[in-house]
Amino acid sequence: MRYHNITKDDMLNGDGLRVVLWVSGCSHCCKECQNPVTWDPAGGLLFDEEARQEIFEQLDKPYISGITFSGGDPLHAANRLDVRNLIREIKEKYPDKTIWLYTGDVWENVMHYSMMQDIDVLVDGEFQIDKKDNKLLWKGSSNQRVIDVKETLKQPDPGIPVLHCQNYA
């Protein structure tokens, strides 16, 4: 896995104060994407032990709510296995920290990925410039959904996602 940045003390990409891992690799290539530099899966830096430790140092801080995976797309084929393994390690070491993940894919396509059991909130859907709305919380366009994964997976039909914060839909 490769990445472009680790953002500390972020308040824009999920609930609370967070650390954000911006991974490389995205096949959606949304028009007017805010991060086109992250599209190339071979771009950025190799996610090494130093980067891993940087994330864990942030998560050690009691005031950090959790981690957000963004990019690029953490569910891009070049990232999926490493992201899954890192999520599992984080969930095991920090069970009270929340994990958010942004993907251009939709819930219906990714709901069966094994890593979903460890994700708290999934923001799904491609960014669509014609549906852009700067007033939306945690998403860029109105077609995207902020999904409470834990609640959704408890439902008799997990194919119908439970929105994390319906007031901001």
Tell me the per-residue pLDDT of 140-160, one tens digit each, with 9 for 90 and over: 899 999 999 999 999 999 998
> How large is the C-alpha radius of gyration of the chain?
15
Tell me the per-residue pLDDT of 35-64, one tens digit each, with 9 for 90 and over: 888 889 999 999 999 999 999 999 999 999
The answer, yes or no, to whether residue 168 has pLDDT greater than 50, is: no
pLDDT band at 167 (very low <50, low <70, confident <90, very high): very low
Q: What is the pLDDT of residue 165?
A: 66
39, 42, 70 from 26: Cα distances, Å: 4, 11, 10
For all residues of the chain together, what is the average pLDDT? Answer: 93
The one-character DSSP state at 128 is -
